[in-house]
Structure 1
Amino acid sequence: MGGIIEKRSKKKRRKKFNKEQEVLGTAFILPYALAFFAFIVIPVFMGMFLSFTSFNLIEKPVFNGLNNYVDLLTVDEKFMQKVVPNTILFAFFAGPVGYALSFFLAWLLAQIPRRSRTVLALAIYSPSMTAGVAMSVMWKIIFSGDRSGYMNSILLKLGLISQPIQWLTDPKYLMPIMIIVTIWGSMGIGFLAMLAGVLNINPELYEAAYMDGMKNKFQEIIYVTVPSMKPQMLFGAVMSIVGTFNAGAIGVALSGTNPTPQDAGQLIVTHIDDFGFNRFEMGYAAAISVVLLIMVFLLGKLAKRLFQERD
């Protein structure tokens, strides 16, 4: 009889403990959940709602159905002829190159002593902590269109050019410079995740692979390193996709105008900014943002399919 009572008492204490843990866990996560709901969920649904309206920030939104999306695909020639090709070109180079460079640098740092690794990792990561506008100031000095610009000064001294080049206003050069600046500043959280992933790989896996016939570092990366850090690779891919599609403001910061000169650096993000805050066509800007959201979501699903661990 005493044993039964003791068991019941233990069950009650366990239930009480579990309930306290649930309450404590809820209390810890509640502020984040409220912030996520207030600053992510509500704005997303508001943007979706506004995308079906005509809204200019002064008058009340007027429902217009799919007109914004129809105009985006059929009337807005700039979107299909300039913005989408520019975004694809920018994302193709800045995203994969930055992603591959993050992995390569993380792998290289893992091969050197800890003290040197810490210093170099901080040096590589630090550009990502600089805001886009602040970062553009340095690059505007380098690519200044007069003789005092570092790039023009060097090329003039070498005799490679006779007149200063307008790097940031010439459509021929703006996009390549945007890609360079974005890659330079892309070594952020994704890079740190990859570095952590490489460092956490069990050394015994490499030893076993060499015993089974692995011969060089390239095979080491292909057969051991990448398969062992798929979660970090997935995280890095998602961060690279989101970062690349959100990096459009760098073109405006460099050129100083929106739209950029001859739309050479006009991306989806800057197109949204142009219609939303220059022309005050918030409904149309919301429709463009929904299209961007769908693109990022689909690319994120593709990255998940490529790098997600399979049972």
Structure 2
Amino acid sequence: MDQMINSEKKKFNQMKFKENLSLMLMLMPYVLLFSIFIALPVAVAITLSLTSFNVIQTPNPIGLLNFINIFTQDEVFLKYVLPNTLMYAIIIGPGGYILAFILAWMIAQIQKGPRTIIALAIYSPSMVGGVFISVVWRTLFSGDESGYINALLMSWDMIDRPIQFLQSPEYLMNIVIIVALWSSMGVGFLAMLAGILNGNEELYEAAYIEGIRNKFQEVMYVTVPMMKPQMLFGAVMSIVGTFTNGYIGVALSGSNPTPQNAAQLITNHIDDFGFIRYEMGYAAALSVVLLIMIWVFSKVAYRLFAERD
């Protein structure tokens, strides 16, 4: 009897081992890619942030000095970069997110053919944003008579000389925000559109039976709760895109730092120290600060949209 029990236990353990082995093999590609492209770079960045490293010489450990300097000695970061980044994130993050949801909901109300064309037109700027910024927006806001905005204002006698829109601190950040909103309809927008289109029609019918009387109530009490996973995905993508989308100001102004740091964001500050000044240790510390900011805002998004048991 004991021998039979031991034999069954052995078979069970072998079966369990095979299941665990197959599970590990299936997870191995994800673990490998995650380790190479996410975990390892983050670990390297954190390690370099604790050093003084100029790319050529061996990194010199200096502890938390880089972080102390960021918040006590870096006047550009405290006076321009941090306020610009927070303002940009607060406007572009929620603004682009709400705009993406509104556009997705409106497009979902029309027929399939026009819906596909309009969705592609709205999504395309997020794919070719750099090209459009270089060609279209710089031409629109060019600081001479060839710029369409300047030409239009001069033809209406509203100005007597061209305005340097892309070199003026008075205008640059506002233009960056406009362009960022225009190009913010990325995969989050597509996820919301898919969530709305694949909604359960029976829920809408039941809601109207229960007393919903208009489209606004339908959106607030049915659509948004029904597509919380898509809303969460869109929120996280919006947060990451907002904090890492610093190329717009540099592309428009043609310089890093931007003129008088008017549109200088934390990603531009990282590029400035890392690839222009070659202070890689300090740039790594700035990237860790950026990572923490993204993590904090992502936790807020999870609080708002994550499913609760």
Q: Is TM > 0.5 for Structure 1 vs Structure 2?
A: yes
Distance 1:22 1:114, change over 3 A: farther
1:227-273 per-position Cα deviation (integer Å, ceiling 9, x unaligned): 11111111100000000001112111110111110100101110111
- Name the CA distance, whole Å, in 1 between partners of 2:21 and 2:185: 38
Q: How many corresponding residue pairs?
A: 300
239, 244, 256: which one aligns with 1:258: 256
1:184-234 CA-partner distances (Å, limit 9, x unpaired) = 111110001000111121112111111222111111111111111111111
Q: CA–CA distance in 1 between the matches of 2:305 and 2:19? A: 37
How many Å separate the matches in 1 of 2:233 and 2:186?
A: 12
Q: Secondary structure at the match of 2:67?
A: helix
State the AA in 1 paired with 2:270: I
Aligned AA for 2:308?
R
**SS state at 1:144 partner:** coil
Task: Summarize the Cα distance change of 1:138–1:28 in structure 2 as closer, same or farther, 3 Å threshold.
Answer: farther
Could you say if the C-alpha distance between residues 135 and 32 of structure 1 is closer, same or farther in structure 2, counting changes exceeding 3 Å?
farther
Structure 1 runs of 4+ aligned residues shifted over 6 Å read none
Query: Residue by residue, what CA displacement relative to the aligned partner does 1:59-94 show, whole Å, maximum 9, x if unpaired?
Result: 100000111111111111111111110111111111
1:77 to 75, 83, 108: 75
1:183 match: 181
| TM-superposed deviation, 1:22 | 5.7
Partner of 2:204: 206
Which residue of 1 is the match for residue 39 of structure 2? 41
2:148 alignment counterpart:
150
One of 191, 194, 197 as aligned partner of 2:192: 194
Q: CA deviation at 1:15?
A: 4.2
| 1:135 and 2:133 matched | yes
- For 2:287, the aligned partner's letter is S
Structure 2 distance, partners of 1:180, 1:88, is 16
Counterpart in the other structure of 2:226: 228
For 1:1-311, list aligned pairs within 5 A.
15=15, 19=18, 23=22, 29-132=27-130, 135-311=133-309
Change (3 A) 1:64 1:226: same
Amino acid across the alignment from 2:202 = E
Unaligned runs of 5+ in 2: none
Give the TM-score taking structure 1 as reference length: 0.91
> 1:140, 1:254 within 8 Å by CA — same for their partners in 2?
yes
Alpha-carbon separation, structure 2, partners of 1:282 and 1:180: 32
Taking only the aligned residue pairs, the percentage that are identical comes to 60
* Deviation, structure 1 residue 29: 4.9
Inter-partner Cα distance in structure 2 for 1:279 and 1:133: 27
CA contact (8 A) 1:133 1:250 kept: no
Deviation for aligned residue 1:30: 3.5
> Quick one: distance in 2 between partners of 1:299 and 1:138?
32
User: In structure 2, what is the Cα distance between the partners aligned to 1:22 and 1:141?
Assistant: 59
The whole-number CA distance in structure 2 between the counterparts of 1:252 and 1:68 is 25
AA partner of residue 279 (structure 2): E
TM-align CA RMSD? 2.1
> Is this contact kept in 2: 1:255–1:261, CA < 8 A?
yes
